[in-house]
Structure 1
Amino acid sequence: MKINPLIFRAYDIRGIYKKDIDESIFKKIGFVLGKKNQKFLVGHDIRKSGRKLAMALIEGLVTTGSRVFFCGKSSFGLCFFSGFKLKVDKTLFVTASHLPKEWNGLKINYGDGEPVSSKEIEKIRDKVLKIEKKEIKFKKPKFKKVNLKREYFETLLEKFPLLKEKKLKIVLDCGNGATSLVAPQIFKKFGFEVIELFCQPDSNFPNRNPEPTFEATRFLRERVLKEKADFGVAFDGDGDRGVIIDDKGRYLSGNQIGIILGRDILKETKNKKVVRTVSCSMAIDEELKRYGSKIIEVPVGHTFVISAVKRKKAILGIEESSHIVLPRYFLFDDAILIPLRIAEILIKEKKKLSKIVDKIKIYPFEEIIFGCPDEKKFEVVKSLAKKFKKEYKNVNTLDGVKVIFNFGWILIRASNTSPKIRLYIEAKNEGRLKFLKEKFSDILGDWIAKNSNQT
């Protein structure tokens, strides 16, 4: 298979299995990543191609003399916890996260959980392309099989002792993804009354989209109301994102989750550094500054959030898409931590989640996704940035192009993982939101069409 350089994205490696990626490419990726006597932990999510790609990756690694641990089929959190406990040099997780079943890919993190940088992925890409036609005699996969599930469970139980004080009722929607392997057991061990929804692993994701969007959580929202649960949680395909549904059946955004967690953590610590992405709500700054927060803004992407949390020694990292980093527990963004911390807050405050949500300021916000070919999307955004700098006073190009008004803002940025351009809009009221949405949707749509028609 000819290697498509576009599978090497800003945060990870992703493509459609047997179209963009296959075992031959993963052998070469393993060969490039490997180094004599370095230790690697390899795992995979529940996708059909996961084990085959993991074995190919291991072939490449052992050919270089690397030592490999293999945790097999795993959730995101369990895989990176295993690498952390084993003190490996890198943890490699074969997954396509929230993308459809046809996709697969690779997440590459250092042993402590920090993802490799986009520059590092570019170096990996260049090295793989350099050996694309080179004949390499790969060794058979050799590894030590490990299972640290018990240690993972015990660590979580130790970190959240308060949760045993009250039996909460939770609806758990694993979306037939990788968290099905661990989440029901974890919450039952804490003594929760657990109502399971789509908690059987199924690589076809038959019941909902592996990305837990508002539409995808319809059954969960209905079930939370029907069961009169304290709250519900829906995980994405691999378990690095979790969205919360409150007791009134409301879907909470990453901004709202970030504010709830941030207020609680800021009350407990003298360290006030909070990392958030450029796409996060202005409400985060307003709400958390009441507790003395020092906001650090970074580009969109969990890689940038985690790296900044580590570098700046921050107490919390927030991404609007519900990637949440809680370094008090782990540096990697294990979504299992989100509902556990939410439950802890409910017990401490002795309040319903809806009462806490009602107290949070939140502004009208919308995200609109436009399809755009991978080879065109960055050029479209670059052209718009040039145009907007001439037309508006307050333009931020930290990531994509953000135009800031006194009543709100818009952000246009190319997705680093999919052939899409995202338009984010936030305003102080619905009227202003509608104005910004109509104006910039038309502009973006026209520019995508214009660029797509060019050869």
Structure 2
Amino acid sequence: MSIFRAYDVRGIYGADLTEDIAQQIGAAFGTLLGGSGKVVLGRDGRVSSPALAKAVATGLTEAGCDVLDMGLIPTPALYFGIKASKAKGGIMVTASHNPPEWNGLKICDSKAGLMGMGLGLEKIKEIVEQGKFKLVGNGKVIDSKHLLEEYADFLLSKVDISKGTRVVLDPGGGSSAVLARKLFERAGCEVYVINEEIDPYFRARSPDPDPDNLEELKEEVLKREAVLGIAFDGDGDRSVFVDDRGRGIQGDLALAVYVRHYLKGKEGAKVVYEVSCTKAIEDITREMGGKLVMCRVGHAFLMDLMLKEKALLGGEISSHFYFGDAGIYSDGLFAGLRMLEVISKEGRLSSLVDGLPKYFSTPIITVFVPDEVKFKLVKEAGLVVKEKGLKTLEIDGVRAYTKEGWFLIRASNTKPEIKIRAESTSEEGLKNLFGEVTKVIKEAASRLGVKVEAPKWRYKKT
């Protein structure tokens, strides 16, 4: 079934994902859990989410599970609810940052770890496809909205922020709006909020915040003379930051800021980062005496590695951030609180970012490649790179190193495309690396006898 993706279940509501399928997935998860125990359920603010959540609950109760219904919440609140209630797992009805017509299910285990493919989701898929449900029909639905307040209390117990710190929040019409203002006010901040009303259609801005956009938030930060702007994605598990100068901050640079602060006095602490991230993270982690663990792209995989490695910090260029002392899971609201804590102790975010090791990087560049070709192309690109005698890492695609820096070619796990990034110590080196990666892709495509559009990117001086 195509709705079963690398990290979760996702598809267009009514066409790919229906109430019937959602009920089957709920029943399959309940069957996998042995037909007993508690499962936490939450949903985002999309039009289709209440009906899909009701269907999931029906499937779970038919399989014998009790459903702890948290209602409309940001996804990280579900993660907290699983641990706080000692549930066997949880299901969040959300399509995260996808467009309004989409919806999906994030399915979690008892540790609040996301069950992606290879982490348990494939077992649920198999039960659904084979119809091997065990329906005992004695579960019940329990109103559990109180867990949202407990979640807020937990987050606030983990931070120390200077009173009166001025911050601008942008939920973007997503589910973080149910808690954002109240949470940051309770933290003692002077809070301004834009796009606060839950909007199933995300009319104010895309539910997928990008540091290069967010013009309304940037203007508001400057207008209010705030120390930080925070844009949340559709379900609140990501946060993109705008600094006091109105600049959008790339997720891997924000992670580097966290590392420099939170690794103080913690020699040997581990930092998990994914293959797209800047070398600045490596430089600072080593500077602070920490240990590096590189991971494939995808928050399900990073959360799993955070748990296995007992890491202190983790992050992705996409602005998923993970804190080992506060539940491991990616949480946009908590990441925002933690960044305010860093600013309270260290000073302006603009200065902290400007004080990082300087590298020149491309953004993540995407190239359309059909699903049936993309993995073959990346594999062939790896062979081309090795023939050139370059050092490589193949954790996720191929990351190749030259005297001028590194470049990455990997296949998207969710879309018909490949993703490219390059980084160098100089402008000229970056241009050379981009030229090199373009040649590698062209050669790999030629060997496979397929046509692939050349990557498009032009250097912009900052």
SS at match of 1:6: coil
Look up the match of 1:86.
Answer: 85
Structure 2: stretches of 5+ with no match in the other structure? 453-462
Q: Is the 8 A contact 1:210 1:236 kept in 2?
A: yes
Give the fraction of aligned pairs with identical amino acids, expressed as a percent. Answer: 35
Aligned mate of 2:433, from 424, 427, 436: 436
SS at match of 2:213: helix
Look up the match of 1:316.
Answer: 313
CA distance in 1, matches of 2:373, 2:417: 10
Look up the match of 2:17.
Answer: 21
CA distance in 2, matches of 1:262, 1:255: 10
Look up the match of 2:349.
Answer: 353
Look up the match of 1:49.
Answer: 48
Counterparts in 2 of 1:25-424, with a 5 A limit? 25-34=21-30, 35-119=34-118, 120-131=120-131, 142-147=140-145, 148-160=147-159, 162-163=160-161, 165-349=162-346, 351-366=347-362, 367-424=364-421
CA distance in 2, matches of 1:142, 1:418: 37
Q: Is the 8 A contact 2:168 2:192 kept in 1?
A: yes
Q: How many residues are matched?
A: 444
SS at match of 1:118: coil
Quick check: 1:425 aligned with 2:422?
A: yes
**Structure 1 position 444, deviation (Å):** 3.8
Q: Is the 8 A contact 2:272 2:315 kept in 1?
A: yes
CA distance in 1, matches of 2:27, 2:170: 37
Report the CA distance shift for 1:317/1:142 in structure 2 as closer, same or farther (over 3 A).
same
- Of 248-257 and 266-275, more deviation after overlay is shown by 266-275
CA distance in 1, matches of 2:216, 2:247: 12
Alignment RMSD, CA only?
2.3
**Structure 1 position 29, deviation (Å):** 1.1
**Structure 1 position 315, deviation (Å):** 0.6
CA distance in 1, matches of 2:140, 2:66: 8
Kindly provide the CA deviation profile for residues 208-227 of structure 1, in whole angstroms up to 9, marking residues without a partner as x. Answer: 11111134312111221122
* Larger helix percent: 1
Report the CA distance shift for 1:442/1:184 in structure 2 as closer, same or farther (over 3 A).
farther
Q: Quick one: which amino acid aligns to residue 10 of structure 2?
A: R
CA distance in 2, matches of 1:450, 1:46: 45
CA distance in 2, matches of 1:86, 1:135: 25
Report the CA distance shift for 1:136/1:32 in structure 2 as closer, same or farther (over 3 A).
closer
**Structure 1 position 266, deviation (Å):** 0.8
**Structure 1 position 374, deviation (Å):** 3.2
CA distance in 1, matches of 2:411, 2:339: 32
Q: Is the 8 A contact 2:67 2:139 kept in 1?
A: no
Q: Quick one: which amino acid aligns to residue 25 of structure 2?
A: I
CA distance in 1, matches of 2:349, 2:259: 15
**Structure 1 position 247, deviation (Å):** 0.4
CA distance in 2, matches of 1:418, 1:213: 18
Q: Is the 8 A contact 2:167 2:228 kept in 1?
A: yes
Kindly provide the CA deviation profile for residues 72-104 of structure 1, in whole angstroms up to 9, marking residues without a partner as x. Answer: 111112222122211111111111111111111
Q: Is the 8 A contact 1:59 1:139 kept in 2?
A: no
Q: Quick one: which amino acid aligns to residue 427 of structure 1?
A: S
Q: Is the 8 A contact 2:64 2:136 kept in 1?
A: no
Q: Is the 8 A contact 1:32 1:124 kept in 2?
A: yes
Kindly provide the CA deviation profile for residues 92-128 of structure 1, in whole angstroms up to 9, marking residues without a partner as x. Answer: 1111111111111111112322222421222222222
Q: Is the 8 A contact 2:63 2:139 kept in 1?
A: no
Kindly provide the CA deviation profile for residues 406-449 of structure 1, in whole angstroms up to 9, marking residues without a partner as x. Answer: 22111111222333321111111122212222442465478399
Q: Is the 8 A contact 2:37 2:65 kept in 1?
A: yes
Q: Quick one: which amino acid aligns to residue 95 of structure 1?
A: T
Q: Quick one: which amino acid aligns to residue 286 of structure 1?
A: D
Report the CA distance shift for 1:360/1:394 in structure 2 as closer, same or farther (over 3 A).
same
Normalised by the length of structure 1, the TM-score is 0.92
Look up the match of 2:456.
Answer: none
CA distance in 2, matches of 1:36, 1:138: 7
CA distance in 2, matches of 1:151, 1:270: 32
Q: Is the 8 A contact 2:271 2:314 kept in 1?
A: yes
CA distance in 1, matches of 2:85, 2:8: 22
Q: Quick one: which amino acid aligns to residue 93 of structure 1?
A: M
Q: Is the 8 A contact 1:14 1:417 kept in 2?
A: no
Q: Quick one: which amino acid aligns to residue 364 of structure 1?
A: F
Kindly provide the CA deviation profile for residues 40-64 of structure 1, in whole angstroms up to 9, marking residues without a partner as x. Answer: 1111111111111111112221121
Q: Quick one: which amino acid aligns to residue 281 of structure 1?
A: T
- Of 284-293 and 391-400, more deviation after overlay is shown by 391-400
SS at match of 1:199: coil
Q: Quick one: which amino acid aligns to residue 155 of structure 1?
A: F
Q: Is the 8 A contact 1:382 1:400 kept in 2?
A: yes
CA distance in 2, matches of 1:291, 1:15: 43
CA distance in 1, matches of 2:19, 2:188: 42
SS at match of 1:336: helix
**Structure 1 position 38, deviation (Å):** 2.5
SS at match of 2:327: coil
Kindly provide the CA deviation profile for residues 365-402 of structure 1, in whole angstroms up to 9, marking residues without a partner as x. Answer: 12112233334332332332233333342122110121
Kindly provide the CA deviation profile for residues 12-46 of structure 1, in whole angstroms up to 9, marking residues without a partner as x. Answer: 11111122211121122112111311221111111
Q: Is the 8 A contact 1:44 1:74 kept in 2?
A: yes
Report the CA distance shift for 1:201/1:140 in structure 2 as closer, same or farther (over 3 A).
farther
Q: Is the 8 A contact 2:229 2:242 kept in 1?
A: yes
Kindly provide the CA deviation profile for residues 316-344 of structure 1, in whole angstroms up to 9, marking residues without a partner as x. Answer: 11212111100211221111111211111
